[in-house]
Every structure is written in structure tokens, then in C-alpha cells.
Amino acid sequence: MSNPGPDWYLVGPTDALDEEDVMPYDRDGHEYAIYHTINGFFASDGMCTHEEEPLADGIVIDNVIECPLHQGRFDVRSGKALSAPVCVDLKTFAVQIHDENIYIRIPQ
């Protein structure tokens, strides 16, 4: 199977992203963050909700992304803001794996 359907976009091969790592994905001028956690692959908006810092520069710990600027934390599975100074949740996006490739769903 190739592309899983409308609104799904190829990010890249699964082996391009180690477990407990994060990478940026740009589409139409918008940055997303793609995570590989102990529970699989997840995706969110790429910028921290505190001060627009790229989360792809942060650290993945279990299912949490820690922002590199002020160490605010989000659960990447739900986008929930977990610790100060972040208080606004992250927007998350569905992810599927097909043929060892990562796809993100970005509704139009």
C-alpha cells in the first residue's frame, strides 16, 4: 500500500527517526513535529505554545516532549500541557505507518 488516503502526507521512512527522538516536518509553510516514543509515532504542531520555539529541537522523554527554551513539557499523545510555563495544549495530528513509512494526517 502506498499513500493511505486524502489528507495523508508522507513524512519519511520510520528508520529516519530513532526511538525517543523528534524531527521537524514542513508542509505549506507550517512546521510540525514528528515524534518516535516508546509507544510509537506521534505528531503535533511544531512550535511550542509558550513562545513559538521549535519543539524539534527539544528532548523526548518517554511520551513527553520537553521544550528547549524554558523546559515546558507536553504529552505528545494528547498534546496536553504538563508543566509550567506551558499552559496551552499542543494541537496533535494522526499518524499511520505504511510500508515502513510515516504518514501524517493534515485535514484541509
Binding site for ligand FES (CB under 6 A): 48, 50-51, 53, 67, 69-70, 72, 85-86
Grid cell in block for residue 90: 499542543
Q: Shortest approach of ligand FES to residue 73 CB, angstroms?
A: 8
Q: To the nearest whole angstrom, how small is the minimum distance from the Cβ of residue 13 to ligand FES?
A: 29
59, 52 Cβ separation under 8 angstroms? no
What grid cell was written down for 81? 500541557
Shortest Å, Cβ 49 to ligand FES? 8
Helix, strand and coil in the chain, % to nearest 5? 5, 50, 45
Cβ proximity to ligand FES: between 79 and 103 the closer is: 79
